[in-house]
Amino acid sequence: MNRLTAYASAVLTACASVLCLAPSAQADTQRVTAADLGPGRPWLRIQDQGSSAHPPGVQEVSPFADPVHWNGSLHLAIGPGQQSQAAHFYTGAVQLSTVMGSEISYDSYVDGAHSTATGTGPNLQLPMFCDGAFTTLSFQPQLATDAEGRHGVVPDIWQHWVSGPSGIWRTSRAVAGFPAGGDAPLSDFAEACTGATSGVIGLIGNVGSLGDPTASLDTYMDNLTANGTTYDFAVDGTATARVDLRAASTGEEPARIDGTAVFHSPADGPEFVAPGARLTIGATTGLDPRNVQVTIDGVPAQVTSENGHLVAQLPRSLADRLLPGGTLTVPFTITSTGDGGNGCGYGGYGKGDDCGGNGGGEHGTATVTARLLARGYQPLQATDVSAEASIAF
């Protein structure tokens, strides 16, 4: 009996004599850092759980930014014959039907350049007992459709997986009439495993044996959610942004602003893949997108109107990566060729009768917000890294 099975037995015994609490209706978020992963800590790796049939691969908190908090993720990677895992156990067993009463979900990313296996990804697992028999249920992403409508595992993009009652899971051992390795909807397991010696005793992020002794798989997971809690794997540092503006012309036509957006990730900060930038522009006099030209990194950008502001971005990334300790500097220009009197009130700064130079030069005051974009659920997704600055022009 390895440590996992021994621990599971102890949890089940304790829960048989006490009431195991149901999860709260709204998931709480718990931050998981590198200090939480290892022997005697809240999250255990393969080698921390005792004997294993497979040598451990990579199991670490990584700076690779997730698409929700953009602060890192859980890195699980395996080479031939390896297995990688991070497991967290509850203080008591919880009926599977109760766990199903709140969201069960996670995010995953497969690095295609460093993986030889295709069509498979990391699993969210629920270790549990079914009428006293231990097993592990594994979500099967290759049989599912993600939140963006993509079927199966797609490499080099983040995918969000949500399992409802009909989600397909695989049992590691034969329990309640289900054969070892058998697939079934989660609701079927819940209906079959209801006795006093049944219950989920934790959750696991896992990359298991691929069945091919030469295969490798490099993945990231984050925002593992079950039993009312979301686990956010994160590095310690936080990325920052700064915007610098300079009026290249004041009270002249065309009015022009030169600016620079600076995005920085500290040495202990997150890593962003395929970063880009989005500019949001507001002005006291209002700006008509037909009369505004914007360049980003020297390239003309499309300008549109959204929610009373002008928005400009390029349809491509500006770098391969923004690494920890790195800086991405993005020059931009904003040129207004209009008379400043059309479209008053963009950005919520003024009313229709208040146009014409409020707060500064002939055109008024412009406020520019620069936001970092990066690969998330989509190739260029808005992150939470942004800054703004204002200038008279």
So what's the pLDDT on residue 379? 98
So what's the pLDDT on residue 338? 65
d(CA 342, CA 356): 10
CATH topology of domain 240-392: Immunoglobulin-like (2.60.40)
d(CA 41, CA 43): 6
User: pTM for this one?
Assistant: 0.88
Q: Would you give per-residue pLDDT tens digits along the chain (393 residues)? A: 444 554 454 444 444 333 343 344 467 999 999 999 999 999 999 999 876 778 999 999 999 999 999 999 999 999 999 999 999 999 999 999 999 999 999 999 999 999 999 899 999 999 999 999 999 999 999 999 999 999 999 999 999 999 999 999 999 999 999 999 999 999 999 999 999 999 999 999 999 978 788 899 999 999 999 999 999 999 999 999 999 999 987 666 788 999 999 999 999 999 999 999 999 999 877 788 999 999 999 999 999 999 889 999 999 999 999 999 999 999 999 998 865 444 333 333 333 333 333 334 456 899 999 999 999 999 999 999 999 999 987
d(CA 337, CA 38): 60
Q: Which two tokens stand for residue 321?
A: 């990566």
Domain boundaries, the chain: 3-233, 240-392
So what's the pLDDT on residue 23? 40
10 Å CB burial of residue 166 (0-12, 13-18, 19+) is exposed
So what's the pLDDT on residue 211? 77
So what's the pLDDT on residue 364? 81
Output b/e per residue, 135-156; b: 16+ Cβ within 10 A: bbbbbbbeebebeeeeebbbbe
